[in-house]
């Protein structure tokens, strides 16, 4: 089978297409023919081996995971022994079930076939979504969902999402507004105002013109979906007891347990993230009821993995960058 592989850390050019052995499902596993997957910032970080401290988990000298890809949509090709709930030809979507530590992460979706635990973060594909749309849901949405839950977001609160057009940001806007019932303010570039409003934002701020920390507005939650703000900078824009949701940065990893003890303004960092079949099933329900819309920026073929990764690393993508695979395999 074809797969995008890399044997050393480095820029996107270390990725290449290679014929590798097709996996066989073991007990409790299903073999999925991948129809679509994505390139996201987790893939990029693991490929680059940055920050350097993460190499203690991902491989000091060379990457443990040759084939990346942490979310997918496809068709069940075969099932191993002791599998219930899935059968050949079932259309499924989900995540490749990251656990902790990162060395235990499975990845593998940047290939024509991947084996995953039947009890992992998988569910039937939404009936009203294409494979490409379904593939670009789980990573950003589950990261956003876990963070919003940990921040105890609820109806009537004011939530600001900084970086409202990325994979996590588009998910955070929708889930905050349509699932948790909050009043959402999105922060993005002017050209994306219409998109962010269509996802549920009541207000939109242009990050190139307005400083969210100096407008006098205060929020119950500030969700930094792109890791470009800081708790210190956002404190003045948080209500007493408000939460700053971080998605990046070792400083935030340290601040989260310390600040939460004070009961005042605090940092929320959902580490480690939890990917479950229950949450994938919830996302399926939200998509089918029209209360979650997958957002796709660009589509590439698997053979264009380098170009797709280079585009993701411009930090200009809107929603998700999808890799499509030939259905004939």
Question: What are the helix (H) ranges across the chain?
Answer: 41-48, 55-58, 131-135, 138-150, 167-174, 193-198, 231-234, 250-259, 277-288, 305-312
pLDDT (mean) for 247-273:
83
The pLDDT value recorded for residue 99 is 59
Query: What is the pLDDT confidence band of residue 11, given thresholds at 50, 70 and 90?
Result: very high
The pLDDT value recorded for residue 239 is 95
Give whole-number Cα distances, 52 to 32, 46, 81, 271, in Å: 33, 10, 40, 18
Query: What is the pLDDT confidence band of residue 251, given thresholds at 50, 70 and 90?
Result: confident
pLDDT (mean) for 69-87:
97
Q: What is the average pLDDT value for the chain, to the nearest integer? A: 92
**Domain annotation for the chain: domains and CATH numbers:** 2-137+294-324 (3.90.180.10), 144-268 (3.40.50.720)
81 burial via Cβ count (<10 Å: 0-12, 13-18, 19+)? exposed
Do 153 and 176 meet the contact criterion of CB atoms below 8 Å apart?
yes
Query: How many CA within 13 A on the CB side of residue 146?
Result: 19
Interval 282-310: pLDDT, tens: 999 999 999 999 999 999 999 999 999 99
Q: Which residues of 140-158 are buried (b: 16+ CB within 10 A; e: fewer)?
A: bbbbbbbbbebbebeeebb
């Amino acid at each position: 089978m074809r797969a995008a592989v890399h044997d050393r850390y480095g820029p996107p050019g270390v990725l290449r297409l290679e014929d590798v052995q097709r996996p066989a499902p073991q007990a409790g596993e299903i073999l999925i023919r991948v129809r679509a997957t994505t390139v996201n910032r987790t893939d990029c970080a693991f490929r680059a081996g940055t920050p350097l401290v993460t190499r203690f988990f991902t491989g000091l000298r060379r990457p443990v995971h040759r084939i990346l890809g942490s979310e997918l949509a496809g068709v069940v090709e075969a099932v191993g022994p002791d599998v219930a709930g899935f059968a050949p030809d079932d259309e499924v979507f989900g995540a490749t079930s990251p656990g902790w530590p990162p060395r235990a992460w499975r990845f593998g979706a940047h290939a024509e076939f991947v084996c995953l635990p039947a009890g992992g973060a998988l569910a039937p594909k939404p009936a009203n979504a294409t494979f490409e749309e379904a593939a670009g849901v789980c990573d950003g949405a589950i990261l956003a969902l876990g963070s919003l839950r940990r921040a105890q977001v609820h109806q009537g609160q004011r939530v600001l999402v900084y970086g409202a057009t990325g994979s996590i940001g588009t998910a955070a806007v929708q889930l905050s507004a349509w699932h948790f019932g909050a009043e959402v303010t999105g922060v993005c570039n002017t050209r994306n105002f219409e998109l962010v409003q269509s996802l549920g934002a009541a207000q939109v701020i242009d990050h190139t013109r307005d400083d969210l920390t100096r407008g006098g507005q205060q929020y119950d939650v500030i969700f930094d979906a792109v890791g470009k703000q800081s708790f210190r900078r956002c404190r003045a824009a948080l209500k007493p007891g408000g939460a700053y949701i971080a998605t990046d940065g070792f400083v935030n990893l340290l601040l989260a347990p310390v600040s939460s003890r004070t009961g005042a303004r605090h940092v929320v960092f959902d580490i480690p993230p939890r990917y479950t079949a229950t949450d994938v099933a919830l996302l399926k329900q939200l998509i089918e009821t029209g209360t979650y819309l997958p957002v796709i920026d660009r589509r590439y073929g698997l053979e264009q993995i380098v170009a797709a990764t280079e585009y993701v690393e411009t930090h200009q993508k809107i929603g998700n960058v999808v890799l499509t695979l030939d259905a004939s395999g």
